[in-house]
A = this chain, B = another copy of it.
Amino acid sequence: MDYVLSRDIHLAPSPVYSLVRKAEDNMLPYQWEALNDRLSEGPKSYSVRNLRAAAGEIDAPHAGAVFQDSDLFKWIEAAAYALKRERNEELEKKIDWLVALMRKAQLPDGYLDTYYILTDISKRFTNLRDHHELYCLGHLIEAAVAYYEATDKKDILDVTLRYVELVNATFGFEEGKKQGYPGHEEIELALVKLYRVTRDPMHLDLAKYFISVRGTNEYFDEEAAARGDKPAWAWSVYSHRNRYYQADEPVAEMTMAKGHSVRQLYLLTGMAELAYETGDEKLKAACDTMWKDITRRQMYITGAVGQSAYGEAFTLDYDLPSDLVYGETCAAISLYFFASAMLKSHPLGEYGDIMDTLLYNGTISGINEDGTRYFYVNPLECIPKRSKFSQSVFHVRTQRQPWYGCACCPPNIARMLTNLDERLLFKAKDTLYVNLFASLDAETRLDGGIAALTEETSYPEDGNIRFRINKAFSGFTLALRLPGWVQTYNLKINGQNPPCVMDEGFIYISDLKDGDEISYILDMPARLVSAHPASYATVGKAALMRGPVVYCLEEVDNGNELWNVLIKPDAPFTVSADERFGTVITAPAFRQKKDGWDEYELYAPLRRPAYQEFTARFIPYRLWNNRGEGEMRVWLRLKEN
Contacts and interface: CB of A to CB of B under 8 A. Distances in A.
Contacts of A609: 533
Contacts of A237: 388-391, 394
A234 interface: no
A539 B564 contact: yes
Contacts of A385: 316
Interface in A580-636: 592, 594, 597, 599-609
B324 A386 contact: no
A392 B310 contact: yes
A563 interface: yes
Interface stretch (A106-114, A410-418, A523-531): A523-531
Given A383-B536, A640-B640, A529 B606 contact: yes
A123 interface: no
Most buried by B among A313, A530, A608: A530
Interface in A532-547: 532-536, 539-540, 542-543
Which applies to chain A's interface (DSSP): helix, strand, loop or mixed? loop
Contacts of A311: 391
A594 B533 contact: yes
Interface string A439-470: 00000000000000000000000000000000
Contact of A386 (B319, B390, B533, B601): B319
Interface in A314-330: 315-316, 319, 321, 324
A311 B394 CA distance: 13
A561 interface: yes
Given A530-B605, A534-B561, A539-B563, A392 B392 contact: yes
Nearest to A296: B602
A603 B530 contact: yes
Interface in A113-155: none
A301 B603 CA distance: 7
A383 B316 CA distance: 12
B324 A392 contact: yes
A540 B637 contact: yes
Contacts of A321: 392
B637 A308 contact: no
A533 B602 contact: no
- Interface size of A as a range: 35 or more
A440 B121 CA distance: 77
Contacts of A543: 603
A239 to B, nearest CB: 10
A569 interface: yes
A21 interface: no
A297 B602 CA distance: 6
Contacts of A607: 530
A528 to B, nearest CB: 4
A104 interface: no
A392 to B, nearest CB: 5
Which of A237, A258, A608 has the most chain B CB within a 10 Å cutoff? A237
Contact of A603 (B388, B529, B536, B600): B529
A534 B609 CA distance: 13
Nearest to A311: B391
A550 to B, nearest CB: 10
A432 B539 CA distance: 51
A532 B605 contact: no
A530 B604 contact: yes
A72 interface: no
A307 to B, nearest CB: 7
A373 interface: no
A302 to B, nearest CB: 10
Nearest to A599: B296
A416 to B, nearest CB: 23
Contact of A390 (B295, B307, B390, B391): B307
B602 A532 contact: yes
B319 A389 contact: yes
B592 A539 contact: yes
Contact of A527 (B297, B597, B605): B605
A593 B386 CA distance: 34
A424 interface: no
Interface string A260-297: 00000000000000000000000000000000100111
Contacts of A299: 602
A606 B527 contact: yes
A533 B319 contact: no
Given A392-B310, A641-B640, A296 B601 contact: yes
A265 to B, nearest CB: 17
Given A292-B600, A316-B385, A563-B539, A394 B236 contact: yes
Contact of A602 (B392, B487, B531, B536): B531
A301 B604 CA distance: 10
17 contacts: A307-B390, A315-B389, A316-B385, A324-B324, A392-B392, A527-B606, A528-B605, A530-B605, A532-B597, A532-B602, A533-B561, A533-B609, A534-B561, A536-B561, A539-B564, A640-B641, A641-B641
User: 10 closest pairs, A vs B, by CB?
Assistant: A316-B389, A310-B391, A315-B390, A528-B606, A536-B563, A641-B641, A296-B602, A530-B607, A315-B389, A530-B606
